[in-house]
Amino acid sequence: MAQRAAGLNRAHDPAVASLEDELEKQRETVMKLQGGAPGSNQNAQPEAIERMEQIERDLATRSSRFRADERARRSDLADLRAQMPPGSALVSFVSFAWRRPELEEFAHSPKFTYAAFVMRKDSERISVYNLGRAAAIDDLVKAMRASADAEAHSNGLGSTRNERVYRQSGEALRKAIWDPLRLAMLGVRLAFVVPDGMLNLIPFAALPQGEGYLVDHGPVLHTLSSERDLIPAETAPKKAGLLAIGSPEFEQAAFDTAGPPLRGAPVDCEAFSAMQFSPLPASLGEVRDIATTWKKWNQREKTDLLTGSEATRAHFLAAAPTARMLHVATHAFVLDKDCGNGNPLLHSGLVFAGANHDRQASVLTAQQIASLDLGGVDWAVLSACSTGNGELHDGEGVLGLVRAFRVAGAKTVVMTLWPVDDEIARRFMRSLYAERFARRQTSADAAWLATRSLLAERRASGKSTHPWYWAGFVASGA
C-alpha cells in the first residue's frame, strides 16, 4: 500500500500513474485466477498473465523506478552475494510456524519457532539453524527491554541491578540466537542482520559477551529491513545539502516530566489528543553541532537549520525532498495498534512545532512520510524516542517510521529502539556525524564506532554501562 502511494505521488508522467494502477488491478486478477477463486474462469488465466506481463513491459519502458523495483523483486541469492563486500556475511532470522501433525502437541496449534540462515561472501553454502521456540526467545527480548525501560525511568537509581537483569536475559538470548552461528561466522568482519518478529526490537550490539558486549568484540553488525536491501537501487536524482530540525517550539507543556526529558513515549488513542509535549533543550545543541560538522566537511552543500518556531511540519515537507541528509531531533509517538482504522502506518509519527496548540497541523504520520519523494536521501536520522518501533508482522518486520522513510526512498535510516535521554542523544549524534563525515566511515562503521565511543566514554567516567545509555541507536538500510 505504501509503495503504491509513493509511486503514484512521484509519477510526474500521467501515463505511468495509469499503468501502475492498471498493473495493480491485473495482478489481483491473476492472483484470484491462480488461487481458484469461486466462479473464476481458469481458461482466462493465460490471457490474464499475458496482459499483466504486457503492462509490466510498458511500465519498464516508461518508469525507471519500476525497473528498479522489478530488479530487486526478481533478484536471487547470487545477486545478493555479488553485492556483499569481502569478509561479510548475511544473517537472516525467520519466525515460522512449525507443524508436526504426527505429534499430538502440534496437531491443532502450530508452535512458532525461530530459524537463522547464514550466507557468507566467500562460500556458496548456506548454513541453517533451528534456534528454538519463539515464545521463550520473545520472553528474553521482553525482559531485556523491560530492564531498559526501568533504567530510563529510574533517574539513575538501581542502575547496577537493572544492568544485571539486562545481562541475565541478554546472555540467555545471545546463547539462543547468536552462539549457534559461531562456526559460520568465523573470520567475518561485517554482518548484515535481517531480524524477524521481536528480534526487530533489540540492539544486537548490546548482547552481553564476556565482561562486555558484542560491540566490544565484533564483527560490525548492520541491520537490514530485508535481504534485498543489498541490491543497489537505480541511480536516484542527485540531491545535496543537510536539513536539520531540532528543539521545536511545542509551547510549554501542561505538566513537568520527572528526570531527564525523553523524546516521546508510546500513547493510546484517547491519550494522544490530550498529550502535551515537553521541550527538548539538548536537541538545539545537537542540531547546531551537526550543522557545524556538516559545514566543515561539506562546504559546497547547503545547510538548512530549522529550530524553535521554524521547526514546523510545513517546512519539513517543503525541504525534505530536496536534501541529501535529513536529521530530525524531536518527539515521536507510537499509538496503540487499534488506532488508525487498522492502518499500521497511522500508528506512529513525528511531532513538530505547535503540537501543543494545533495537533492536526504539527503531526506527521508514517503514512504521510511514505508518500514523500525521498529518493536520493542518503541518511534519514530520526533522533527521537522509539522511532524503530511500530506494528510487528512476522516476515514483514516493523511497520512504522523506519519502513515509511525506506518506502519513500531514503537509503539508510538511523533509528532508536527505546526512549532516549536528551543529552545522551546529542553526544551520540556528535560522534556519529564525526565518524561519517570527518573520518569518512561507511554508515555501518559510523554507527558501530559511535556506539563504541559512547560506551567507552561512560566506562572512563565511571558511569553506568547499562545498554539503555548507549545502545538504543541503530542504523538500518542500504
Contact 106, 98 (CB under 8 A): yes
Residues 211 and 251 both lie in one domain = no
> Does residue 446 sit within a domain?
no
Cis peptide before 219 (omega within 30 of 0): yes
Which stretches does DSSP call E strand in 249-311?
303-308
Rounded CA-CA distance 433/418 in Å is 21
Which distant-in-sequence residues (6+ apart) come within 8 Å of 183 by Cβ? 127
Rounded CA-CA distance 230/237 in Å is 20
pLDDT computed for residue 235 by the predictor: 62
> Does residue 447 sit within a domain?
no
Contact 436, 446 (CB under 8 A): yes
> Does residue 346 sit within a domain?
yes
| Digitized pLDDT (tens) for each residue of the chain, 478 residues in all | 555 555 555 555 677 778 778 888 887 887 777 666 565 566 777 888 888 888 877 776 666 666 666 666 677 888 899 999 999 999 999 999 877 666 666 556 678 899 999 999 999 999 999 999 999 999 999 999 999 999 988 887 889 999 999 999 999 999 999 999 999 999 999 999 999 999 999 999 999 999 999 999 989 999 998 898 888 776 667 889 999 999 999 973 333 344 455 555 444 577 677 778 888 888 999 999 999 999 999 888 999 999 999 999 999 999 999 999 999 999 888 887 666 666 777 788 899 999 888 887 888 988 888 888 888 899 999 988 776 666 666 556 666 888 889 888 899 999 998 888 888 888 999 999 999 998 999 999 999 999 999 999 999 999 999 999 999 999 998 7
> Which has the closest alpha carbon to 91: 227, 203, 198?
227
What CATH number does the domain containing 109 carry? 3.30.420
Rounded CA-CA distance 209/216 in Å is 8
Please report the DSSP string for 184-211 in residue order. GGTT-SEEEEE--GGGGGS-GGGSEETT
> Does residue 459 sit within a domain?
no
| Alpha carbon of residue 32 to chain centroid | 33
Residues 180 and 226 both lie in one domain = yes
Which distant-in-sequence residues (6+ apart) come within 8 Å of 243 by Cβ? 304, 306, 316, 319, 320, 322, 323, 325, 326, 327
Lookup: cell for 346 = 497511522
The 8-class DSSP code of residue 172 comes to H
Residues 429 and 332 both lie in one domain = yes
pLDDT computed for residue 255 by the predictor: 37
Residue with cell 561485517: 190
Residues 124 and 151 both lie in one domain = yes
Q: Dmax over Cα atoms in the chain, in whole Å? A: 74
**Residue 94: how many other CB atoms lie within 10 Å:** 18
pLDDT computed for residue 12 by the predictor: 59
Residues 189 and 48 both lie in one domain = no
pLDDT computed for residue 20 by the predictor: 76
Residues 22 and 138 both lie in one domain = no
Q: Name beta bridge partners: 397.
A: 393
pLDDT computed for residue 357 by the predictor: 86
> Does residue 43 sit within a domain?
yes
Residues 198 and 253 both lie in one domain = no
Stated as kind and residue range, the H or E segment containing 244 is strand 242-248
SS3 at position 265: coil
Residues 161 and 27 both lie in one domain = no
pLDDT computed for residue 435 by the predictor: 94
Which stretches does DSSP call E strand in 310-446?
325-329, 332-334, 348-351, 363-365, 379-383, 390-393, 397-400, 412-416
> Does residue 476 sit within a domain?
no
Residue with cell 530459524: 115
Rounded CA-CA distance 183/69 in Å is 35
Residues 122 and 271 both lie in one domain = no
Q: Which of 201, 230, 259 is the last residue of a domain?
A: 230
Rounded CA-CA distance 265/152 in Å is 11
Rounded CA-CA distance 357/251 in Å is 7
Residues 210 and 248 both lie in one domain = no
Residues 252 and 383 both lie in one domain = yes
> Does residue 392 sit within a domain?
yes
Structural domain count of the chain: 3
Residues 410 and 429 both lie in one domain = yes
- Domain extent, residue 20, equals 2-74
Lookup: cell for 173 = 538470548
Rounded CA-CA distance 201/324 in Å is 27
> Does residue 418 sit within a domain?
yes
